[in-house]
Amino acid sequence: MAFRSRVGVQALIQCTSLTKKFGQFTAVDQVTFEVANGEVFGLLGPNGAGKTTTMRLLSTLLKPTSGTATVAGYDLLREPQKVRASIGVLPEDAGLYDRLTPREHLFYYGKLHGMPEDILRKRTDELLDIMELGDRANTKVGDFSKGMKQKVALLRAFVHDPPVLLLDEPTAGLDVMSARSIHAFVDRFRKEGKAVMISTHNMTEAQKLCDRVAIIDHARIVAVGTVAELEKKTSQKDLESVFVQLVTD
């Protein structure tokens, strides 16, 4: 629809030695990984490990101190506008305008993505119906529950149908029903061939959703692979045990 990835790109996200320092503090250290089309990739780590900073680097909110990454084939440093056009971001906090309605949100962000109004109108109605927000489409989001706000924020992330989605703690603090509908969307994204990167510290969610995971600790990636590969490598029975072993090592 609005923006596509560069032709012929295999790995929609490709990080090479991505590093971010805040003064003396290294928040992300030499991080290297790839996320392919139709892959859901989990970034797992304890609080403060560097998950959110990695997400912010990939969404061009922060500039890397060294190393680089391409998103949908575009370079973070040289083509930040194109990177932003090809990603959909769900930040840690929904970050919605309390005095605007879900419809106004989608319309606003869609327009910023350069979508023509007639297409945007159709797309907005369609998305609000899928998320079962149709009857609340014209209510200001200030009155919404956390789950409903998160749904609107997720719709905002893909109103322009981007090839890459960056979801930071997408289900944190949500009830089971809300979390399930978010999970359903992640499945749908995978089927549509998008690259989805999820940061989480919810092991069950990671095990259920992710094709591959990277475990990040103290700013560095300590392991990458499918859940089965990591279990085999560490001789553990589940992802939580894998995580505990790798992070405390």
Partner 1 sequence: MNLGRIATIAGKELKDALRDRRTILAMIVIPIIVLPVLMFLPAFLASPERNPVRIAVIQSDNTSDDFLASLASNQVQVVRIERTENMTKLIQNGDYELGMVLPPDFSQVFQGPDQQATITVYVDQSSARGTIALALVQDDITKYSDKIVADRLAKTGLPPSALTPIETDVRSVTVASTGALFLAILLPLFLGIYAVTGAMYFVMDTTAGEKERKTLEALLTMPVTRTEIILGKFLIAVLIALLSSALAILGMTAGVAFFSGAIGEASAPGLSISAGNLLLIGVATLVLAMTSASLEMMISIFARSFKEAQNFLSPLSIIVVVPAIAMQYMSDQALRFFAVAPIFNTMLIIRDALLNRVSPANLTLELLSAFVYMIIALAVAIKIFNSEKAMVRY
**Interface ranges with partner 1 (CB under 8 A):** 3, 56, 59-63, 81-82, 84-85, 87, 89, 91-100, 104, 108-109, 111-114, 140, 153, 156
Q: Which is nearer to partner 1, 4 or 111 (CB)?
A: 111
Q: Which is nearer to partner 1, 153 or 223 (CB)?
A: 153
At residue 7, φ and ψ (nearest 5 deg) are: -60, 135
CB 35 within 8 A of CB 197: yes
Q: How far is the CB of 94 from partner 1 (least distance, A)?
A: 8
CB-count exposure of residue 5 (10 Å: 0-12, 13-18, 19+): buried
Q: Which is nearer to partner 1, 75 or 104 (CB)?
A: 104
Q: Hey, what's the torsion of the CAs at 91, 82, 35, 148, to 10 degrees?
A: 30
| DSSP label of 226 | -
The first and second tokens of residue 186, run together, are 């992640």
Which of 84, 83, 88, 67 lies closest to 220 in space, CA to CA? Answer: 67
Q: Which is nearer to partner 1, 2 or 224 (CB)?
A: 2
3-state secondary structure of 208: helix
Q: How far is the CB of 166 from partner 1 (least distance, A)?
A: 8
Q: Which is nearer to partner 1, 158 or 243 (CB)?
A: 158
Q: How far is the CB of 87 from partner 1 (least distance, A)?
A: 7
Q: How far is the CB of 98 from partner 1 (least distance, A)?
A: 8
DSSP 74-140: EETTT-HHHHHHTEEEE-SS----TTS-HHHHHHHHHHHTT--HHHHHHHHHHHHHHTT-GGGTTS-
Q: How far is the CB of 156 from partner 1 (least distance, A)?
A: 7
**What is the side-by-side strand order in the sheet with 74-75?**
25-36, 11-22, 66-71, 74-75
Q: How far is the CB of 243 from partner 1 (least distance, A)?
A: 26
Q: How far is the CB of 127 from partner 1 (least distance, A)?
A: 16
Q: Which is nearer to partner 1, 51 or 212 (CB)?
A: 51
Q: Which is nearer to partner 1, 56 or 151 (CB)?
A: 56
